[in-house]
Amino acid sequence: MKKTWRNTLLSLSMSAALLASAVPTFAAEAPAGFAQTTIKVNGQVVDYASGEALVEKGTTLVPLRSTLEVLGAKLQDVRNGKVRIVVDDRTITLGANAKVVGGVSFIPVRTVAEAAGYDVRWDRQTKTVLLVSKKTGEAARGFLWEVKNGPTTVYLVGSMHIADDSFYPLRDEFEEAFAKADYLGVEIDISKAAGEEQQQMIVDMGTYQDGTTLKDHVSAATYKQIGEILKKNGLEANAFDQFKPWVVETTLGSLQSSDAGYDAGLGVDLYFIQKAVERKIPVLELETYESQLSMFNGLSDELQERNLQAVLDNFGEIADSTNEMAGMWKSGDEDLLLEMTNSIAEDPEYYKALLTDRNIKIADKIAGYLKSGKAEEYFIVVGAAHYLGKDGIIKLLEDQGYTVTRK
């Protein structure tokens, strides 16, 4: 399993949505005035037999009867547009009226989902509404630390940038700390990953501009292996020709994790970004899209091909290693987190670029918040791999005289 850790550690150290696809997608035709979107319930796409989820003036509407069915609720009646449903033997009157489109009754998804006991999240990158049941087992421990300096408090959260519904609900300590926060700090605001500026950066840095293609920059054996995997997945063998090895590597790794049920839309950082928007508190970016993409683009050609080859050689095992990381996160196992983090150090160039250099800059920003002298609370969410070890954020803060306490 250790061989595949380095290929999935991006979920612990980098913002997983930053490599949103640069290839445009086209929605199927929808009724006039509407745009279609996708609904996932606990990670599974809802395939509506009658009607589709629609967006009208920023509000997502879903077919009433079929949505209630997948949420485990029942329709009691609809009178004059008012909807009453039954959830766990309780009758609830929904706070929004039903709307008939093409003979099908629609209702705002947030209204019906929250009444049925689901959290509602939005994945802007894939235009997907994510519904996650609150009726789960014991809350995951995760990684949460606290640092104080005078009247200022900083909470440090170690994130997995991709997750599934089993990560939620988070334990009360996370929610209570966030409820008091005046600011949310993240690596980058991945809710903006599908923006035109960010997509253009991927094209500018991640594609060849000199007339060459991927085939000219990797070995014949590596190129052949890429083609075989693409064909097995229903794509043309040359589908990635325009992209550099680091884009191909991260894309293939993300595909494997996605097939295993992990989604950037359920990532811990995006979860809190969405809550920050709801609370209307500032979201502070500790890095930039440009700096993260430049880190990848600045890797030597040799390292890019090594990383790509490692993904190709372990392609069928990436889902298993992601599962192991998810288990590590949910159990809050510091020893295993440190072991995974240290595995990157076996490649000095990769370790320096992915963690060491970035940790110094992030720790300095956190120290700046601590030195503000203001009675403010910061809730910082960055990849879990950044915190532990001799070059980790916790050690860097301790070296500056701060006491970091696990919560």
CA distance 177 to 297: 36
- Tens digits of residue pLDDT in 386-396: 999 999 999 99
State the amino acid at position 263 in one-letter form: D
Whether the per-residue pLDDT at 2 is higher than 80: the answer is no
Please give the pLDDT value at position 46: 86
Please give the pLDDT value at position 36: 61
Angle subtended at Cα 334 by Cα 292 and Cα 398, rounded to the nearest 5 degrees? 70
- Tens digits of residue pLDDT in 232-286: 878 899 999 999 999 998 888 877 777 777 888 888 999 999 999 999 999 999 9
Highest averaged pLDDT of the listed ranges 117-131, 198-212, 382-396: 382-396
Count CB neighbours of 15 within 10 A: 25
Identify the bridge partners of residue 256 per DSSP, sorted by sequence position: none
| % of the chain beyond a pLDDT of 90 | 47
CA distance 250 to 297: 12
Band of pLDDT at residue 8, cut at 50, 70 and 90: low
Please give the pLDDT value at position 7: 57
Across the chain, mean pLDDT equals 85
Which two three-digit tokens encode residue 390? 């001799």
Which two three-digit tokens encode residue 64? 């009433």
CA distance 268 to 157: 9
Q: What is the pTM of this model?
A: 0.74
Please give the pLDDT value at position 15: 66
Count CB neighbours of 225 within 10 A: 18
Summarize the confidence of residues 77-102 as an average pLDDT: 87
Band of pLDDT at residue 1, cut at 50, 70 and 90: very low
> Is 98 or 380 the better-scoring residue by pLDDT?
380
CA distance 329 to 206: 30
Summarize the confidence of residues 81-100 as an average pLDDT: 88
- Tens digits of residue pLDDT in 168-197: 889 999 999 999 999 999 999 988 766 678
Please give the pLDDT value at position 20: 42
Which two three-digit tokens encode residue 118? 């689901």
Band of pLDDT at residue 215, cut at 50, 70 and 90: very high
Please give the pLDDT value at position 10: 67
Contact 172, 205 (CB under 8 A): no
Band of pLDDT at residue 138, cut at 50, 70 and 90: low
Whether the per-residue pLDDT at 117 is higher than 60: the answer is yes
Please give the pLDDT value at position 6: 58
